[in-house]
Structure 1
Amino acid sequence: MGDGSIARARRGVFTLQIVNDARYSDLNREIAETIKRVKPGASPCLRGGQGAIRVEARWKHWPCVFPQHGPGRKHLRKIELTEWRREIVARYPEQLLRGLFHSDGCRVTNWASKPGREKRYHYVRYQFSNQSDDIRKILTAALDLLGIAWRQSRRDTIAVSRKEGVAALDGFVGPKS
């Protein structure tokens, strides 16, 4: 999914706002459909902007669904899954990974060379970058649930480079569309 936030509106109501690139019309529709599944009576608004779509929905209980919401920078706040959320992730780790990679990740063709050889070889890998240690831990725990090998290529980056791991992610992450 895209980048989101929760804003306080009038009379104790909150507005969930998710901003995503306008080029991904299928993904934007999926965001609106997911909001309807979480709050069945919702009628999400899709508002256009300069190359971006903002999906909005109002509800008093968004802070209950997203308890990690709060003031300050996300990567400085504690973000953890409560027991009922861990149970959902255990049942649906693919959907969590898909959302995380679509939000803060990418599928790229990387290159490497073997020591002493000038020839490069290319391979596909998934990369996920986020400043929050907690969010990276949630991602790697879901990868571990599925037996997908990963490594931390930089302090804030997780990479999946092995062919079988990339093939598994290709099966459910898929391209943004």
Structure 2
Amino acid sequence: MDFHGAGVRHKAITQLRAGARNADVARALGVPLGTVGYWRHTDRAQRGECPGAHHPKCPRCDGRDLDAAAYAYLLALYLGDGHIIQYSAHRVPSLMITCGDDWPGLMDACETAMGTVFPDNSVCRVRRTGCHNVKVYSKHLWCMFPQHGEGKKHERPIVLEPWQQQIVDAHPWEFIRGLIHSDGCRIINWTPRLVGGERKRYEYPRYFFSNKSDDIRRLCSDTLTKVGVEWTTLARGSDPFNISVARKGSVALMDQHIGPKY
């Protein structure tokens, strides 16, 4: 049986128009949730009912209000685990942030931020092995993420526009939180210590941020410095890919504003 044939698609659209949820339709027909979401989107767009179909406003082009804190977080997620795709000149580009299934809270936060930054556009989750791509379509992705370009991020310059830097300066902790949620972690490190002549295991929390891009690591370290967090570079061999936060006071500050992924 062809689960993606015209007949199955017609059944799905009929159920969706009747008010069924994407997940229920996908489960009933054995179709991937992302496919059902795409069918709903294209059907509503063809009928002129797609949210934002009537020229959604853009903060950069039209001066629409922008939730700066949500944008600072989403920008950091994009720099770490995001990419923009446009399959053809006739298709609307999409922003996808890859979120691991081990951290459902992170996925929820990503979806909330994406919906807040693009309130006129639908946000969906596309299931992949061990993760989901949180996804939004918008003609204004180039406006909002001018760092997009050909090739991998660590192989090209990544520089914030002045308006982006102003947002990061105003909401540094949201930016740092997005970086840690994408390419960072909070771990419990340990080292042996002599206590009363006896060797004992000493444990302490530590934050890491790892990224191959010198520019993205610099954005992270510069922002950490601005909020008073002490950090060091921890080389992996000869490559300085890791930023480490291990001092007790700085870890406490990070715990106050960031905390572990969840």
TM > 0.5 fold call: yes
Residues 1:159 and 2:241 aligned together: no
Percentage identity across paired residues of the two chains: 40
> Is this contact kept in 1: 2:86–2:93, CA < 8 A?
yes
Unaligned runs of 5+ in 1: none
Give the match for residue 3 of structure 1: 81
Q: Where is the strand percentage greater, Structure 1 or Structure 2? A: 1
Residues 1:143 and 2:224 aligned together: yes
Q: Which deviates more from structure 2 when the two are superposed, residues 15-24 or residues 135-144?
A: 15-24
Given residue 162 of structure 1, which amino acid in structure 2 is its aligned partner? R
CA distance in 2, matches of 1:120, 1:18: 38
CA deviations on 1:52-71 (whole Å, 9 max, x unpaired) are: 11111111111221111111
RMSD: 2.0
> Is this contact kept in 2: 1:7–1:16, CA < 8 A?
yes
> Is this contact kept in 1: 2:106–2:181, CA < 8 A?
no
CA distance in 1, matches of 2:254, 2:115: 26
Note the C-alpha offset of 1:124. Answer: 1.1
Number of matched residues? 177
> Is this contact kept in 2: 1:14–1:59, CA < 8 A?
yes
Residues 1:40 and 2:40 aligned together: no
> Is this contact kept in 2: 1:128–1:158, CA < 8 A?
yes
Q: 1:75 aligns with which of 154, 179, 187?
A: 154
Q: Which deviates more from structure 2 when the two are superposed, residues 138-147 or residues 34-43?
A: 34-43
CA distance in 2, matches of 1:151, 1:113: 21
Given residue 164 of structure 1, which amino acid in structure 2 is its aligned partner? G
> Is this contact kept in 1: 2:185–2:261, CA < 8 A?
no
Give the match for residue 15 of structure 1: 94
Q: 2:165 aligns with which of 86, 98, 105?
A: 86
CA distance in 2, matches of 1:50, 1:76: 27
Residues 1:168 and 2:253 aligned together: yes
CA distance in 2, matches of 1:17, 1:98: 18
TM-score, structure 1 normalization? 0.91
Given residue 145 of structure 1, which amino acid in structure 2 is its aligned partner? K
* SS of residue paired to 1:26: helix
Note the C-alpha offset of 1:25. Answer: 2.1
> Is this contact kept in 2: 1:35–1:42, CA < 8 A?
no
Given residue 249 of structure 2, which amino acid in structure 1 is its aligned partner? E
> Is this contact kept in 2: 1:12–1:60, CA < 8 A?
no
CA distance in 2, matches of 1:125, 1:12: 44
Given residue 248 of structure 2, which amino acid in structure 1 is its aligned partner? K
TM-score, structure 2 normalization? 0.63
Q: Give 1 or 2 for the bigger CA radius of gyration.
A: 2
Note the C-alpha offset of 1:108. Answer: 1.2
CA distance in 2, matches of 1:6, 1:109: 34
CA distance in 1, matches of 2:202, 2:106: 32
> Is this contact kept in 2: 1:68–1:77, CA < 8 A?
no
Q: How does 1:23-62 map to 2 (within 5 A)?
A: 23-62=102-141
* SS of residue paired to 1:45: strand
Give the match for residue 205 of structure 2: 124
